[in-house]
Amino acid sequence: MSKTKIILGCFDDPDDMMQGITNLQKNSIPIYDVYTPMPIHGIEAKMGVKDSRLGYAAFCFGCLGLTVITSIVYYTLVGDWPQNIGGKPSFAMPDFIPFMFEWTILFTAFGMTFTFFAATHLFPGRAPRVMDLRATDDRFIIAVDAKGNIPHDDITNLLKDAGAVEVKHNERKYVSYE
């Protein structure tokens, strides 16, 4: 039993990397993930990545922010101690709109940031999960889970055929942990 946990195909050209994905897909080899230093057009469709649901999270956080501020303002300025501002009724909608607008945005922005952190396991004090450090620089990385039933040499050859400059057999999934 090999101790290899993950196989990384390192490419120096995004077109070769796309060819690598095609090769693996033709042979029904599941791809764990792909890491690139820049966005690659059309890669989501090719990999069958589902649309991000971050937008739904944003909507929910926006609604939460709106509800929270409406409750606070209503309770403090209308319910608990009705305020007379400039002789206007205490429940005057235009007064409330800037708060409602700002808190909706505030909650949406922070909520989306925290959702993104949670989904990508980025927290303060935690090392980011990186499989190959050059994926943030000049290498396009295809990661294949080595625990499947496919012989490792086949995966290596398919990646080499597509033009991989290096194929790594890593025993650790993430190299960024000490």
Partner 1 sequence: MKTHNNFDERFEFAGNAKTLSLVGIVLGVIGIAFGFILGGDHIQRVYSNLLLMGYFFVCVCIAGIFFSAYNYVAQAGWSASLIRIPQAFAKVLPIASVILILIITAGLLHTHTVTEHGKTETVPYLYAHWAAHGITTPGSENFDAIIYGKKGFLNIPFFYAVLIVLLGIYSFLGIKMAKFSEAEDTEGGMANYDKIFKYACIFLTIFGFTFPIFAFGVIMSLEAHWFSTMFGWYNLAAMHVSGLAIITLVIIYLQKRGNFSWLNENHLHDMGKLIFGFSIFWTYVWFAQFFLTWYANMPEESVYFYKRWEPEYKWWFWLNIVINFVTPVLALMSRDAKRMRTRLTWVCIILIAGHWLDYYLMIMPGTVESNRGFGVEEIGIFAGFAGLFIFTVLTQIAKAPSLVPKKHPFLQESLHHHR
Q: Please report, as ranges, the residues that interact with partner 1 according to CB under 8 A.
A: 41-42, 86, 88, 94-95, 97-98
Q: Which is nearer to partner 1, 97 or 118 (CB)?
A: 97
> C-beta of 18: minimal distance to partner 1 in Å?
14
Q: Which is nearer to partner 1, 88 or 126 (CB)?
A: 88
> C-beta of 109: minimal distance to partner 1 in Å?
16
Note whether 154 and 27 are within 8 A (CB): yes
> C-beta of 88: minimal distance to partner 1 in Å?
8
Q: Which is nearer to partner 1, 26 or 41 (CB)?
A: 41
Q: Which is nearer to partner 1, 42 or 124 (CB)?
A: 42
* CA-based nearest residue to 91, from 101, 104, 81: 81
> C-beta of 41: minimal distance to partner 1 in Å?
5
What the block records as the tokens of 120 is 């990508």
What HEC string does 52-120 produce? CCHHHHHHHHHHHHHHHHHHHHHHHHHHCCCCCECCECCCCHHHHHHHHHHHHHHHHHHHHHHHHHHHH
